């Protein structure tokens, strides 16, 4: 299943840093996000765009994970020649990440 099947995202950007929050639709799916959505998996999934460090912050009370992606916007929105170098574009790309369906809600 795709990440977008169980979560939505919000994003922002400042300079060459993007900030993406991934929020579970159902709090019961938060442990699945926490298990499978690591900083390394996010970095691998967005490797063609994100060239710096990826940090993950857990927000279990909100059922969300927040990712800070460094060197992710080709120099920043005002410096990049990309058509849409905003963080929202990265959040849409992140939601295409594949999550193992068998792991949903504790199924074996």
* Verdict on whether the full-model pTM lies above 0.85: no
Split at pLDDT 50, 70, 90, the class of 25 is very high
pLDDT at 88: 59
CATH number at 29 reads 3.30.70
Residues 74, 37: Cα–Cα separation, whole Å: 24
91 burial (CB, 10 Å; 0-12 / 13-18 / 19+) is buried
Residue 61 lies in a domain: yes
Domain that holds residue 3: 1-73
| Tally of domains in the chain | 1
- pLDDT of 45 strictly over 80: yes
- pLDDT of 106 strictly over 70: no
Residue 87 lies in a domain: no
pLDDT at 57: 97
- pLDDT of 84 strictly over 50: no
Tell me which residue has tokens 């299943």.
Answer: 1
- pLDDT of 28 strictly over 60: yes
């Amino acid at each position: 299943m795709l990440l977008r099947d169980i979560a939505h995202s919000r994003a922002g950007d400042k300079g060459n840093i993007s900030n993406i929050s991934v929020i579970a639709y159902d709090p019961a799916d938060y442990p699945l996000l926490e298990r499978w959505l690591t900083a390394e998996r996010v970095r691998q999934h967005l490797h063609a765009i994100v060239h710096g460090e990826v940090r993950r912050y857990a927000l279990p009370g909100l059922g969300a994970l927040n990712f800070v992606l460094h060197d992710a916007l080709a120099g920043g929105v005002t410096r990049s020649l990309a058509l849409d170098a905003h963080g929202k574009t990265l959040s849409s790309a992140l939601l295409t990440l594949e999550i193992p369906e068998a792991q949903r809600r504790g199924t074996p």
